[in-house]
Copies of this chain bind each other. A is one copy, B any other.
Amino acid sequence: MNWAVIMAGGSGTRFWPESRKHRAKQFLDLFGPKTLLEQTFDRVKKVIPPSRILVFTASDKAASTAKLLPIPRSQVIGEPAGRNTAPCAAWAASLVLKKDPSAVLGIFPADHFIKDEITFSKVLRVAFGQADGSGMPVTLGIKPDQPHTGYGYLEIAGKKATVRGTPVFFLKRFHEKPALAQARAYLRSKKFLWNAGIFIWRADCLLETTRRELPAVFKTIVKLAAGGISAVVAKKLFTKVPNISIDHGLMEKLSGGILTIPVSMGWNDVGSWASLGDLLPVDRAGNLSVGTNILVESSGNVVKGTGRLIATVGLKDHVVVDTGDAILVCPVSKTESIRKIVVELQKRKMHRFL
């Protein structure tokens, strides 16, 4: 059967001051009344019933995460430490295998945005079928519409099949974030897709690959999945496993091949405040304005308030966010550096803003 694991362990600082230590990006309601995690859950449950959806998050957020979603607490797994996606995926695989030896596992980041959910559902069903039949991992590859330098890329090889109108390709290789010239070449070639971090893989194959390629992870995961160990011991064990992603730690080691399904579904990794301007309706001058704002002769800004008036004049391409206790102002081009503010807050021990 098809299973899903939603990875909600991120602790992003790029949405400060909205995101804080205990309110990471996946717990923000950037696009309306629901958090990114809830939106991801709602999207996934159209293909996989809630009873077969696991959610992994940091252990101190497990209880609140369970309250947010219509699943029992037992389906929310608290990770004792953040160790990237490979250990998490292996853990999930070993848990679902105990209930379903033929499980196929979809792995989804909790904090991305997907506009076209119908296409997502359709492609996901094809991906589950392909993963189940082939034993190979299937990745969803986003068709690029710009030479983005902030994403990893998937280079496709020959076509394997076309399933209900959806072509499925073999993956040639993974590529790291490119420089701009490279990204432009990728875009022109049409053989490169954005790596959206969505993987579908038979749980037994995933776990077997872990046993072979990441034996230290495998040993720990077996112990954790067996249950009956204390939180202290679990943390001690998990902290020691390598911090490594599914792509690098597992998939790249496969000689048996990887599949990729190219898809256009309005995907965005919601990487920064600036990305909101691409995802939400903007005014004629290209401003995204949420709250009580007066923007005079201003363009290309992301302005988000919480009741207080924000007024700008002549402001171009800036982010202004007011959360009540803190105000952020920075150029759109500098949103990647917001974490430096968080570092500075830590340095000054201004804990209430962290």
Contact = CB atoms under 8 A, between A and B. Distances in A.
Given A294-B345, A340-B297, A313 B326 contact: no
B294 A344 contact: yes
Contacts of A296: 337, 340-341, 344
- Counted per complex, copies of this chain come to 2
A318 interface: yes
Contacts of A310: 326-327, 329
A290 to B, nearest CB: 14
Contacts of A311: 16-17, 326-329, 341, 344-345
Dominant secondary structure at the A interface: mixed
Contact of A328 (B297, B312, B325, B330): B312
A314 B341 contact: no
A174 interface: no
Nearest to A17: B311
Contacts of A322: 327
B309 A325 contact: yes
Contacts of A326: 308-311
A21 to B, nearest CB: 15
Interface string A287-318: 00000001011000000010011111111101
A350 B315 contact: no
A66 interface: no
Nearest to A330: B313
A320 interface: yes
Interface of A: 16-17, 294, 296-297, 305, 308-316, 318, 320, 322, 324-331, 333-334, 337-338, 340-341, 344-345, 348, 350, 353
